[in-house]
Amino acid sequence: MAKSVVKKYFEENAESWVADGYGDDGYTYPVGHHRTRIVLKVLSGLGNSLKVVDLGCGGGQLSCALAESGHTVVGIDQSDKMVNIAQKNRSTLPAKLQKRINIIRCPIESNNLKEHSFDAVTAMGLIGYLRDDNILFKIAHRLLKPNGIFLVSCRNRLFNMVSITPKTKREIRSKTAMPLISELESLYKTVSKKDADELVQRFKHITASLPNKTMYGKMDMLSPAEKLNANPYRTQVEARQHTPKNLLRTAMKFGFSNKAYYGVHPHIIAPPANRLLPPGIFNKISNCLEALEHLPVSLIWSSVFIGVFKKKKEKNHEK
């Protein structure tokens, strides 16, 4: 994907992108918010004061959350508007937290950060806008210390086979459906009683979180971006999709091993059913599946996933 196209997309849609990523008005699912939640959960097990690079930091929400968790963060983004939003969000933090965040405006390939000096690298929603995956893994490998952790989120191509959308039809027409189905079938792993009990408890308490309105107007159905702008996305770009299997293949080329996958944006029924229900209902019910987001089976019903990779200490990858 051409850099100029991607840059134009984020320059023109920065406010809308951030609004929809962190707000859940209408039928919108706040993917950015949940990716941040999962990243914080993963990194919390590694220490309280990590050095982190947030590649493609966007509006800086993750960078700020990392700083609030005690980490020192460098956020990098090439979009002027995204960096401005990130700087604005940074400025709302207490002074001592602002000192933990450095926002840099540049293409990720042009960063001059010190090699092998970071404990973790994050790249949320970035890889699909790059021309190939090697770019991102090469950068992450260069920046990370041995045993450092790389967290990368992707659009889940496997979900095309269960979503019953135009993407499903495209896979069938392209005769690419069968390999995806085979990979999906490998994800059916037994769920422990503990995880099953957590899922049941979430369903038991779902009524308390459902909207209790009986009437819905046009404004209730608008997304956060639509409330900002009647035509929020002036430029449309479709991000590349990935499967866990092909992402791991690239990771291994650069000396990474897989530690975990997390499903993001669960769907309890097919996506077209979302707008058949009152706004908010579909996502609230589907959110019960967060109880299983750390399990392989979550990748079946999630439209996004986060891969967690560990940089190996092998000498041939430290050259």
DSSP 80-109: HHHHHHHHHHHHTS-HHHHTTEEEEES-GG
Could you please state the CATH topology (level 3) that the domain comprising 3-317 is classified under: Rossmann fold (3.40.50)
Question: Which residues are within 8 A (CB) of 4 and not within 5 positions of it... i.e. 6 or more apart?
Answer: none
Q: Is 43 helix (H, G, I), strand (E, B) or coil?
A: helix
The β-bridge partners of 307 are 152, 261
At residue 212, the pLDDT reads: 80
pLDDT value at 143 more than 90: yes
Q: How far is CA 101 from the centre of its chain?
A: 20
> Cβ neighbours of residue 28 under 8 Å, at least 6 residues apart?
20, 223, 224, 225
Which pLDDT value is given to residue 315? 59
Cβ-proximal residues to 259 (8 Å cutoff; 6+ apart), any chain: 149, 308, 309, 310
Give the Cα separation of 201 and 197 in Å (integer). 6
User: What's the chain's average pLDDT?
Assistant: 94
* Residue 318 pLDDT exceeds 80: no
H or E stretch including 11? helix 3-22
Q: How far apart are the first and last CA of the chain?
A: 29
pLDDT higher than threshold 50 for residue 281:
yes
Give the CA distances from residue 211 to residues 22, 248, 281, 290, in Å, rounded to whole numbers and listed in that order. Answer: 18, 40, 7, 19
Helix (H) or strand (E) run with residue 257 in it: strand 256-266
Q: Is the pLDDT of residue 306 over 60?
A: yes
Q: Which amino acid is at 104?
A: I
Mean pLDDT of 171-182: 97
pLDDT at 155: 98
The pLDDT assigned to 314 comes to: 64
Tokens of 162: 């269960």
pLDDT for position 106: 94
Do 55 and 127 form a contact (C-beta atoms < 8 A)?
Answer: no
Residue range 104-139, pLDDT digits in tens: 999 999 999 999 999 999 999 999 999 999 999 999
Query: Could you read off the pLDDT of 37-56 as tens digits, one per residue?
Result: 999 999 999 988 999 999 99
Alpha carbons 241 and 31: distance in angstroms, whole number: 15
pLDDT, tens digit (0-9, with 9 covering 90-100), for 66-118: 999 999 999 999 999 999 999 999 999 999 999 999 999 999 999 999 999 99
pLDDT at residue number 310: 98
pLDDT digits (tens, 9 = 90+) for 197-232: 999 999 999 988 887 888 899 999 999 999 988 678
Residue 317 has pLDDT above 50, yes or no: no
The CA–CA distances, whole Å, from 58 to 11, 54, 64, 212 equal 11, 9, 11, 34
